[in-house]
């Protein structure tokens, strides 16, 4: 806001000017000057309102983006993803914010499902993104021929 004036005060000023017009009795050059002033005030208020609207929209977008990332990181962490922060960036385009600001996941088929189901499904489809669960102890070094990991079993042949 240029002068620090409040938009509401300016709107009240516009109302006062219109009331003066209604009372009549003005000379044509006074009316023309008031119309010019009124037009300038309307332009200024319109600009300020557009700036305020744009700022509010940007802040809402930033808040919703933060909410999407935080929930994705939470679910990826719960799903044992390796580097949940980075994996959340991969999923960001599939996470949608509904009108009620709840989150959903849009799958490759274009259907919306719950975010939790979407993240879990993504982790199942992308097993490379999940941390290996190394169970220690038992005396085994994990390199035996009984490994279920296709990558590791390739070394045992």
Strands in 112-114's sheet, in edge-to-edge order, are 95-97, 103-106, 112-114
Position 45 pLDDT exceeds 80: yes
d(CA 149, CA 124): 14
Rounded to 5°, the CA angle 79-63-116 comes to 20
More confident residue, 133 or 157: 133
The per-residue pLDDT for range 49-105, each reduced to its tens digit, is 999 999 999 999 999 999 999 999 999 999 999 899 999 999 999 999 999 999 999
Cα 19 from Cα 157, distance rounded (Å) = 93
> In the prediction, which pLDDT does 131 show?
87
pTM: 0.55
d(CA 80, CA 93): 21
H or E element that contains 51 = helix 28-78
**Chain segment 14-37, per-residue pLDDT in tens:** 777 767 766 766 666 777 888 888
1 pLDDT band, cuts 50/70/90, is very low
pLDDT at 142: 47
In angstroms, the CA 74 to CA 43 distance is: 46
Neighbouring C-alpha atoms within 13 Å toward the C-beta of 70: 6
pLDDT tens per residue, range 139-154: 545 454 455 655 555 5
Position with higher pLDDT, 133 vs 134: 133
pLDDT at 108: 81
């Amino acid at each position: 806001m240029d002068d620090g004036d409040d938009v509401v005060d300016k709107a009240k000023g516009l109302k006062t000017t219109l009331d003066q017009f209604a009372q009549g009795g003005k000379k044509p050059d006074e009316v023309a000057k008031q119309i010019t002033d009124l037009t300038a005030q309307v332009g200024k208020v319109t600009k300020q309102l557009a700036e305020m609207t744009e700022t509010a929209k940007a802040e809402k977008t930033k808040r919703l983006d933060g909410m999407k990332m935080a929930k994705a990181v939470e679910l990826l962490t719960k799903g044992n993803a390796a580097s949940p922060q980075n994996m959340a960036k991969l999923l960001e385009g599939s996470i949608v914010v509904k009108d009620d600001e709840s989150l959903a996941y849009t799958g490759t088929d274009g259907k919306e499902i719950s975010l939790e189901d979407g993240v879990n499904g993504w982790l199942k489809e992308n097993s490379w993104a999940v941390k290996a669960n190394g169970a220690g102890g038992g005396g085994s070094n994990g390199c035996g021929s009984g490994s279920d990991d296709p990558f590791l079993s390739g070394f045992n042949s």
